Structure 1
């Protein structure tokens, strides 16, 4: 099965170029032939939101060559560490920096001098990083079956067909952004490359001129769209919004659900992880008003259950525990070095997500927190996600709020609040949780740092405390 369905097109809005299905296939075939001359092993690709990067990805995938899509903002030291651990055949579109030992600079790439390397497992097709541009991530291993099954499952629940047009406001090295690309191309739809982002006039001009029908975004983007006074009525073909990448606060769910229903469209709240290639559930837009805090049932081919503290699993309603997902899109496992690339499937299609939640009587999932997103204060554990929501409840004028664990306290960075407002919020949290206000250090910040995906860069914030 191919990832480039009949009729699939790519529109490069920055260059004014349209690649119809046949031309796209020819381009991908040409690039695949060039990649075949590289040494044995996985390919690393510094993947920007541009046509060149997407061609490399499609060429590798269609020709059966495993490829890791990396954030081009990855630091030189972090990239060098990854190269040392995994010994890729080549680093495509290498940075302007000295090549690491054992590699030669050639045609803009770093190519491994030694032709011999570990042969990746034959099922391995794609590797994605689990962290952002700081630190050295481990890599999620996805099979060809996982990528294709999730692409078609998402296309089914969103009714993606040849008439759909999606912009690339999420980068393709981010699992959610790649999923948008995959689900549209696989069903013969159109993808519009426009990398400037939601704040740019050129992006919205491309949305209008290219007739984009959908927009995928993470919670920070919805905060931004609210500040931009986004009105879907300005874009007559834009009738689908999707949201993943973290919990969207209830006020924004209600606001954007109402905006989209007013123009005959819908907001689809989704839940996923990179480890599931990446989407696991979708809330039908027509039911969102009835279950605004749910992320919906499992995608076609998937199954959700709850793991109780005693280790048993259940689908009975209202029982809380760790969310477990089963499906063909579950990763093969993690790779931390070159040897891990040769290993086969280690999970058998079962993913313990590390998220907390419960199912209702209809099998719809409600995610309530994250096992590892906890902060400790005097031995008391608190959900950092819940504390972020509590700050917004105490100070509705706040923009993004980000909580990180400190030394026996929780530090919360809040956009749009002054020092006095932060002190008031600290005392409100302390009163609510019966602890001293010093344990909830609410700090003003001009702008919460974001990763290229639009997610909050918690690691950067931890460096500030």
Structure 2
């Protein structure tokens, strides 16, 4: 595959019903100097066309949350020197982000950049090559059996790697993407599923929790026959629940595991084996290989050996970028991704995850640095990862107030944070916080 957009691919604007087939806007970059561009990417047809145009014309593009605080956007502009900032820009910032000729030319293989750490800290950008993006799209098309008859809907933002992947796979397969901006709880979302015959829905764990509260019944949506899940660990009882719901109408649930650094999907659990492999995230996607690295540095694919998960494949990133100078770098990883996750392979090569080596959590699919969260609070705190939420223990302060403060600071819903008062932090013999004891 050499192009992202299959000739038969189309978008449907859920708000107007307009069908859009011509996704490339040739004049988009006429007045823009050469170099990488920022795209503040709302869930709109226009934003998708800007992304596709950049990709198909060889213009590296960084996909950004349009809700980033102004100061964060300006800090990123200063660090990465984009040739232009596309998408919604507040009037008071236009002079600060106007088109300029970057000092550093990006590497010719560079295609897409995505932020690594949600809204916390000083985010690095993941450098993805054109080959990596297309290879992962092709792998997922094969693993899920996506054809030109499929219709997806934008349940996830496109600047999030999983949402971008849903868009990429359906464009590559010549399928349809319904662009609906309100989201799962919006008034127009479920009517759009039925009106436009949506066949597949991609969600993160917190959204599956929402479906439980909404009493989701796939029988009410005759065309919807495929659910996919990634973006964190879904409780096994819910995996089984939704597998059974979909099976009752002849549908499928696919559980997947991914990282932004792999463009982004690494494994897919075949729906037909979910019952016997409940808790696994499946084998590597087509074209990829998994192995386990032990403490002594040796690698193995032997069953039931726990260690750090390694992945090799054409979809692995070129590397990270922290400044504009890094955009000129080539391939730093040679197709090897050290995931930072602990896990084991079974006799069939299926991966079972057992936690992370480093301290990150996920809230609504957004990866957050737990150390950054601790530093944000005005009182001593210890943060651990829960099931699609972050649990924060404090020895001083008002939990409800701190919960809202975190949510506001990180631009995420408050239900993604659980702040609990504790008399004292459990400590290891070296005096450090015993995070394992807190997590249990």
State TM-score, norm by structure 2. Answer: 0.84
**1:230 & 1:443 partners in 2: Cα distance?**
32
Structure 2 CA distance for partners of 1:5 and 1:252, relative to 1, 3 Å: same
How do 1:379-458 and structure 2 match up within 5 A? 407=380, 449=407
Structure 2 CA distance for partners of 1:339 and 1:310, relative to 1, 3 Å: same
**1:123 & 1:412 partners in 2: Cα distance?**
35
Q: What's the counterpart of residue 395 of structure 1?
A: none
Gaps of 5+ in 1: 104-109, 375-383, 389-401, 416-421, 427-436
Two-structure CA RMSD over aligned residues (Å):
3.3
Q: What's the counterpart of residue 62 of structure 2?
A: 68
Gaps of 5+ in 2: 375-379, 426-440
**1:4 & 1:294 partners in 2: Cα distance?**
32
**1:290 & 1:165 partners in 2: Cα distance?**
29
**2:177 & 2:217 partners in 1: Cα distance?**
22
Structure 2 CA distance for partners of 1:16 and 1:318, relative to 1, 3 Å: same
Q: What's the counterpart of residue 258 of structure 1?
A: 244
Structure 2 CA distance for partners of 1:207 and 1:373, relative to 1, 3 Å: same
**1:228 & 1:154 partners in 2: Cα distance?**
29
Structure 2 CA distance for partners of 1:100 and 1:312, relative to 1, 3 Å: farther
> How big is each residue's C-alpha offset from its partner over 1:355-398, in whole Å with a ceiling of 9 and x where there is no partner?
11100000000011111238xxxxxxxxx89xx9xxxxxxxxxx
How do 1:298-309 and structure 2 match up within 5 A? 298-309=284-295
**1:285 & 1:454 partners in 2: Cα distance?**
31
Q: What's the counterpart of residue 78 of structure 1?
A: 72
> How big is each residue's C-alpha offset from its partner over 1:317-374, in whole Å with a ceiling of 9 and x where there is no partner?
1111111010000000000001000000000000000111100000000011111238
Contact 2:132–2:316 (8 Å) recurs in 1: yes
Q: What's the counterpart of residue 141 of structure 2?
A: 155
Q: CA deviation at 1:137?
A: 1.2
The yes-or-no answer on 1:6 pairing with 2:13 is no
**2:405 & 2:228 partners in 1: Cα distance?**
24
How do 1:50-199 and structure 2 match up within 5 A? 50-99=44-93, 103=97, 110-112=98-100, 115=101, 117-199=103-185
How do 1:257-296 and structure 2 match up within 5 A? 257-296=243-282
How do 1:224-239 and structure 2 match up within 5 A? 224-239=210-225
> How big is each residue's C-alpha offset from its partner over 1:131-151, in whole Å with a ceiling of 9 and x where there is no partner?
223443110000000000100
Q: CA deviation at 1:101?
A: 7.0
**1:314 & 1:233 partners in 2: Cα distance?**
44
Structure 2 CA distance for partners of 1:97 and 1:132, relative to 1, 3 Å: farther
Structure 2 CA distance for partners of 1:455 and 1:86, relative to 1, 3 Å: farther
Q: CA deviation at 1:2?
A: 1.2
Contact 2:28–2:50 (8 Å) recurs in 1: no
Q: CA deviation at 1:438?
A: 8.9
Q: What's the counterpart of residue 34 of structure 1?
A: 28
Structure 2 CA distance for partners of 1:275 and 1:116, relative to 1, 3 Å: closer
**2:350 & 2:412 partners in 1: Cα distance?**
26
Q: CA deviation at 1:100?
A: 7.3
Q: What's the counterpart of residue 438 of structure 2?
A: none
- SS of 2:354's equivalent? strand
Structure 2 CA distance for partners of 1:124 and 1:179, relative to 1, 3 Å: same
The yes-or-no answer on 1:244 pairing with 2:245 is no
Contact 2:292–2:305 (8 Å) recurs in 1: yes
- SS of 2:27's equivalent? helix
Which of 184, 192, 209 is residue 223 of structure 1 equivalent to?
A: 209
Q: CA deviation at 1:255?
A: 0.6
**2:145 & 2:385 partners in 1: Cα distance?**
40
Q: CA deviation at 1:19?
A: 1.4
Structure 2 CA distance for partners of 1:448 and 1:248, relative to 1, 3 Å: farther
Q: CA deviation at 1:404?
A: 5.8
How many residue pairs match? The answer is 404
Structure 2 CA distance for partners of 1:185 and 1:97, relative to 1, 3 Å: same
Q: CA deviation at 1:196?
A: 0.7
**1:247 & 1:162 partners in 2: Cα distance?**
30
Which of 330, 343, 357 is residue 371 of structure 1 equivalent to?
A: 357
State TM-score, norm by structure 1. Answer: 0.80
